A and B are shown apart, each in its own frame.
Chain A
Amino acid sequence: MGIMTEAEAKTILDKVLKFSTADECTAQLTGSIEGNIRFALNNVSTSGVVSDTNLGVSVAFGRRVGTSSTNDFSDASLARAVKRAEELARLAPENPEFIPAVEKQVYKPSSTFSAATAAITPEQRADIAMASIAPCRSKSLIAAGFLNDEQSFVAFANSKGAFGYQRSTEMDYTCTVRTADGRGSGWVARNLQDSTPFKPASDIEIAMRKASASAEAQALEPGKYTVILEPAAASGLISFMFNFFDARAADEGRSFLSKKGGGNKLGEQVYDPRVSFISDPWHPDLAVLPWDGSGRAREKMAMVENGKIANLMYSPYWAQKQGKKVVGRPGNIIMSGGTKSTADLVRETERGILVTRTWYIRMVDPQTVLLTGLTRDGTFYIENGQLKYPVKNFRFNESPVIMLNNIDDLGRPVRVSEGGGMKYMIPPMRVRDFTFTSLSDAV
């Protein structure tokens, strides 16, 4: 079935709510049509389309909660799903952290849907793959890539009168180009809500250029370097850090945002004053649903303002316990920047290293958010504003908290794909004293 209209979804949700005899009932319908094509060694390897629709039902008797789900939307099946959730709720232990369903909310719609992205056909996917492969074949380069496009809808309603419906789209393209001898590798990525501006034929040129230019890599000594991190390279570290913006962990003393002696660092200067992050569901380039997973309306809010912690991520339970206003959990993070491109930043760099992509990032020490990972698919030495020569990849051991205290300049933020639920816009950035701890022979 895939995508339902608002009227179709509302009819089903209303039936579910009517079937319920619990103290409260919340129902959520989600559906998606997802298409993909994968290619490697200059050939298409797999392609497919997956369509899915699902109903989740959550009911509560007092503090006892039960959930169930189904993908059969007949009246009998809906009634069974409600009954099963109610049976489970009666058996469930009381949840001491129970929070009642949201009251009726007003949601200001956000522009999450693009008709062009929703209309992508298997033929277009094949064309995109061939637009990536054909120029590589002609230059004896080898392409491997993946395109995923998705249209989806979410509709939810509860017994207190809250109702929301919205459609969304997203496309994500990545391609790695390698030289035939395996000595050079380049990469390009594009994440869009509206596929209209996507031009694979010009994007693939970026990966091809980096692949060819990176073939004669020289070894530099590991150490502290000025780096220019392209948005995708920087977002690997920054998105990792935002996984640890949870207020409860900070208040409990097990986060980099915990304070000595107790409490959290809300309001404290943690980053360089030029560092600001906001969450904005209505951002024109990064719109997300105007409500969160619990149905609470999201708000535009500062997360970091001029380097100071302006907000943390609160669960409804923890917000209530701490006497905070309960608001929708953010769905996106946008870092402030300027207007410069990565190329502009390179031009203004006396000496440094350009990092295209960061890879296999893992937490080393949660106390300081020390992360380790590697550079990949296009690492170059910069001298006097020019890319002088390719360098061998490095392993880094660096904390994004320290990195965001060593900001030298910020460029124009762009959408990046980080997987998971949160969406990001991150600028390219020049950072001083970025810590590379060893060399990698990997290409």
Chain B
Amino acid sequence: MDRRQFLAACGIGAGGVLLPGFGQAIAAEQLVETMDVAVKKRLADAALTAAKAAGATYCDVRVGRYLRQFILTREANVQGVTNTESSGVGVRVIAGGAWGFAATNNMSPESVAQTARLAVAIAKANAKNQTAPVQLAPTKGVGEVKWATPIRRNGMEVSLQEKVDLLMRVNGAALKAGANFVNSSLFLINEQKYFASSDGSYIDQDIHRVWAPFTVTAIDKATGKFRSREGLSAPMGMGYEYLDPKAEDKVLSPNGIISYNKSYDMVEDAQAAAVQAREKLTAKSVKPGRYDLVLDPNHLGLTIHESIGHPLELDRVLGYEANYAGTSFATLDKREQRFQYGNEIVNIVADKLQPGSLGAVGYDDEGIKTKSWPLIKDGKLVDYQATRDQAHILGKTESDGCSYADSWSTVQFQRMPNVSLQPGKKPLSLADMIGNVENGIYILGRGSFSIDQQRYNAQFGGTLFYEIKDGKITQPLEDVAYQMRTPEFWNACSAICDERDYRLFGSFFDGKGQPSQVSAVSHGSSTTRFDGINVINTARSLG
């Protein structure tokens, strides 16, 4: 699901009866309520007992309360405020060696037990055509534990007025600085998830995410040209403190572009966006050819996501996503051969631990304690992302903790953890990196992105483009997109800034599966250089 589809799902702007896309509309006060953990345990036990009695050899139960608040504005208008809650129980079992799943929004022990029995019946029906029984990697129950996103300020407790005031200041700053139009939004998500399994785990988690995107548009009426500049924030696994800007979290490029790390000055960025959107109207159109690209973390994150994160999802590699998202070029034999995925300075690590990241949780949706592990080491492919029932395929004795479901009502499956490029080991600042480039382009922010169904051929745009000549940033560019073949691109990686420049990029609504589910994931990196990449000019004329 992309943002356009998401807005359509929410009914925003439909002008009709506003039905939330994700559950029931509730009052803002209800967003701060929580469910008694004793009640959740009682429901979980009802399911575990019923599933066992019905013949399940394994059962897990997810009692979920999913809360969302979305605020959408344009210029001086609040277009919509949506508060939603979706609560219910999902029960997954193994019976006869096959999976079965059922879910209910009726939160009574009787209904949950009945749902567990239904899940067992489905598993037994599926077992008839199963060619090999499910093999779960062993895991020990963790007993009764808790985990919460370490937030300093719960966004759900911040008054609506304060949030609307912020967005109005953002819009005002953009308009004052020369924007013709501005759309700004705030998305807050809280997943209150309780997981229990027949292994003896009872895990209560409280997970928070925040995203504050905007788009500023400048128009030249005489020529009919228009250009937009999106915000340079990242969606984060943080509370409202992300929107309380701190000077130490700002990163200044040699040409004065401000990027952000662990906090975000949305008003300042909107003001800069208006100036830069207008600048884009008259920027030089890029000359196609080979360039050395200097990619900011807020841009490179999406390239990592598409060209490394997705191809190393084990279910894709095996063919389970063949009809929709596709398969992967990074087949299992390539791991055996230690395939040279990238230059030897490229080290890619998967994790669900990084503070502030969208993927950070204490335990995944199979109750596995989360961890960090290498995917690409010194440029060579060494591992994939696996769940409990996939670990044996890789010869592993434990899951990687990559299971996730976007709702209590959907079945959990393998989803991407944070996948990050490790900072360069040698000291290297952004200014020094740019200083070494003779003929290049510096790219910041996300833009158009597209990649084939095996993750070979990709094309990426961006938000801001600057020409680099003989070590100096000379002028803004427009109409830039680069085309790449994944292994060649990562082998063309020639320099990575050190850890001082390391920042997180985020994907808030990453879609996968049929029916499609969304997940949120971060990608960390420092500014990185790629040599001799094919850049095309995207300007066209409609006559």
Contact = CB atoms under 8 A, between A and B. Distances in A.
A175 B323 contact: yes
Interface string B323-344: 1101101010000000000000
A441 B539 CA distance: 26
B406 interface: no
Contacts of B485: 441
A184 to B, nearest CB: 12
Contact of B15 (A145, A294, A399, A440): A294
B536 interface: yes
B326 A442 contact: yes
* Most chain B CB within a 10 A radius of its CB, from A256, A270, A399, A440: A440
A40 B320 contact: yes
Nearest to A260: B224
A406 interface: no
A54 B84 CA distance: 13
Contacts of A58: 16-18
B457 to A, nearest CB: 4
Interface string B3-25: 01100100101111111100011
A148 interface: yes
Contacts of B329: 441-442
A209 to B, nearest CB: 17
Interface string A244-262: 0000000011101011111
Contact of A99 (B15, B17, B454, B483): B15
B391 interface: no
Contacts of A359: 326, 452-453
Contacts of B13: 315
A27 B448 contact: no
Interface residues on A, range: 35 or more
Interface stretch (A113-121, A278-286, A335-343, A366-374): A366-374
Interface in A339-366: 359-366
B450 A43 contact: no
A191 to B, nearest CB: 15
Contacts of A292: 16
Interface string B193-229: 0000000000000000000000001010111111010
A372 B459 contact: yes
Interface in B76-110: 77-78, 81, 99, 101-102, 105
Interface string B301-338: 00000000000000000111111101101010000000
* Most chain A CB within a 10 A radius of its CB, from B15, B329, B538: B15
Nearest to A91: B160
Interface stretch (A67-75, A300-308, A423-431): A67-75
Nearest to A441: B456
Contact of B457 (A57, A361, A439): A439
A45 interface: yes
Interface stretch (B35-43, B44-52, B123-131): B123-131
Contact of B8 (A48, A252, A372, A421): A421
Contacts of A159: none
Nearest to B456: A441
Contact of A146 (B129, B223, B324): B324
Given A315-B15, A365-B539, A442-B452, A43 B130 contact: yes
Interface string A12-46: 00000000000000111010000010101101111
* Most chain A CB within a 10 A radius of its CB, from B77, B450, B461: B450
A312 interface: no
A409 B319 CA distance: 37
A270 to B, nearest CB: 8
Given A43-B131, A48-B101, A360-B451, A253 B226 contact: yes
A293 B25 contact: no
* Most chain A CB within a 10 A radius of its CB, from B131, B221, B411, B459: B459
B450 A88 contact: no
A88 B222 contact: no
A40 B322 CA distance: 7
Nearest to A88: B27
A390 interface: no
B24 A70 contact: yes
A298 interface: no
A253 B78 CA distance: 22
B365 interface: no
Interface residues on B, range: 35 or more
Interface string B511-543: 000110000000000000000001010111110
A374 B456 CA distance: 11
A437 interface: yes
A374 B451 CA distance: 8
B515 A36 contact: yes
A38 B514 contact: yes
A144 interface: yes
A144 B448 CA distance: 29
Given A69-B25, A71-B24, A253-B224, A442 B450 contact: no
* Most chain A CB within a 10 A radius of its CB, from B13, B321, B323, B409: B323
Contact of A44 (B129, B324, B457, B461): B129
B64 to A, nearest CB: 16
Interface string A398-437: 0101100000000000000001110000000000000001
B191 interface: no
Nearest to B98: A44
Contacts of B411: 46, 48
Interface in B474-501: 479, 481, 483, 485
A377 B483 CA distance: 21
Nearest to B126: A44
Given A40-B319, A54-B19, A261-B222, A372 B481 contact: yes
A376 B453 contact: yes
Contacts of A214: none
A372 B77 contact: no
B162 to A, nearest CB: 14
A223 to B, nearest CB: 13
B449 interface: yes
Interface in B212-265: 217, 219, 221-226, 228
B58 interface: no
Nearest to B105: A71
A362 B448 contact: yes
Nearest to A394: B457
A156 B450 CA distance: 40
Contacts of A261: 221-222, 224
B370 interface: no
A36 B101 CA distance: 13
B15 A144 contact: no
Contacts of B187: none
Contact of A178 (B19, B322, B409, B452): B322
Given A68-B25, A88-B27, A370-B538, A317 B15 contact: yes
A57 B452 contact: no
Contacts of B534: 438
A363 B534 CA distance: 19
A58 B15 CA distance: 11
A93 interface: yes
B17 A442 contact: no
Q: List 8 A-B pairs, minimum CB-CB distance, nearest first.
A: A293-B16, A442-B454, A440-B457, A260-B224, A144-B322, A442-B452, A144-B323, A56-B17
Given A28-B19, A364-B448, 17 more contacts: A28-B16, A41-B319, A43-B130, A43-B131, A46-B411, A48-B101, A97-B77, A146-B324, A174-B324, A178-B322, A253-B180, A253-B221, A294-B16, A360-B453, A367-B225, A441-B456, A442-B326
Interface of B: 4-5, 8, 11, 13-20, 24-27, 77-78, 81, 99, 101-102, 105, 122, 126, 129-131, 180-181, 217, 219, 221-226, 228, 318-324, 326-327, 329, 331, 409, 411, 448-457, 459, 461, 479, 481, 483, 485, 514-515, 534, 536, 538-542
16 contacts: A27-B17, A30-B19, A41-B318, A43-B129, A58-B16, A144-B320, A175-B323, A252-B181, A252-B219, A270-B542, A368-B539, A376-B452, A437-B483, A437-B536, A440-B457, A442-B326
